[in-house]
Amino acid sequence: MSSSKKRGAFIVIEGLDRSGKSTQAATLVERLQAKHIAVQLQKFPDRTTTIGRMIDSYLRSESDLDDHTIHLLFSANRWELATSIEETLNAGTIILCDRYAFSGIAFSASKGLPFEWCRAPDVSLPAPDLILFLDITPEKAKERGGYGEERYEKEETQRKVRQIFGRMAEETAAQYEKSNHGRWVTIDASQSLEAVTADIWKVVEPFVEGLSGPIHRLWEGLDQP
Ligand code: DGP
């Protein structure tokens, strides 16, 4: 075991609704814990905070909010946990995050809000070291248990969301080329559960020993149009 002080890796799992994110995140946490590797699961939206309860009510269609307002609430929900995420990472614990700012852009921009406007409030959040995008077509996702309970769970919405994730995959890859930080890996989530778990592990394994560099800041220094 290395005695040099390393921080935990910040790993984000993104994907459409019903892509298997939460199942895979739970499986990965179990696997890491079985290896006695410190890991904390963080889910966004975190519906337990005051802001999170407003988001929950919106998602269940119990309240209506203007698209800009709900976008900023989702972002505020990430910001209210940013310090605790940094502290946890600096204490050497991996954070596995089920959705993050990429969902923020994808779901809000799918409603017609400008991409750059959607990105702006999340600039400077702690940046993930690795983004795992569980890719599945909306048709396949729908077969898995049906949409319908929450606001965004409609095939047409998910199709737009997937397109925007595709744009972010390209942009993040280009950014990674330049900075060598913030790797985006697309995983074929239409495979069997076991195959997806195996693909995820291959990518995550190099990160489990911890990282030496500082926590980066999300989308800082990006050229604004
Ligand atoms: P989940 O709890 O993972 O099922 O996510 C709840 C829903 O909220 C899901 O349809 C995706 C959507 N969502 C997650 N994060 C954001 C965000 O930051 N902004 C918007 N507009 N929607 C989000």
Which tens digit of pLDDT belongs to each residue from 109-128? Answer: 999 999 999 999 999 999 99
Backbone angles phi, psi at 151, to 5 degrees: -50, -45
Atom of ligand 1 nearest to the CA of 152: 10
pLDDT of residue 145: 77
* Ligand 1 proximity of 18 Cβ (cutoff 6 Å): no
The three-class DSSP label of residue 5 is: coil
Segments of 111-179 assigned E as strands: 130-135
* Ligand 1 proximity of 17 Cβ (cutoff 6 Å): yes
Question: What percentage of the chain carries pLDDT values higher than 90?
Answer: 89
* Ligand 1 proximity of 45 Cβ (cutoff 6 Å): yes
pLDDT of residue 69: 98
| pLDDT bracket for residue 223 (50, 70, 90) | low
The three-class DSSP label of residue 124 is: coil
| pLDDT value at 14 more than 60 | yes
CA distance 200 to 92: 21
pLDDT of residue 1: 45
For all residues of the chain together, what is the average pLDDT?
A: 95
Give the residue with greater pLDDT, 173 vs 148. Answer: 173
Encode pLDDT of 46-102 as tens digits: 999 999 999 999 999 999 999 999 999 999 999 999 999 999 999 999 999 999 999
* Ligand 1 proximity of 78 Cβ (cutoff 6 Å): no
pTM for this model (two decimals): 0.96
Question: Domains, the chain, ranges and CATH?
Answer: 3-206 (3.40.50.300)
Instruction: Report, as an integer, the average pLDDT of 169-186.
Output: 96
pLDDT of residue 113: 98
pLDDT of residue 5: 87
The three-class DSSP label of residue 155 is: helix
Q: How many angstroms separate the first and last alpha carbons of the chain?
A: 46
| pLDDT value at 155 more than 50 | yes
| pLDDT bracket for residue 144 (50, 70, 90) | confident
| pLDDT bracket for residue 2 (50, 70, 90) | very low
* 117 CA to centre of ligand 1 in angstroms: 17
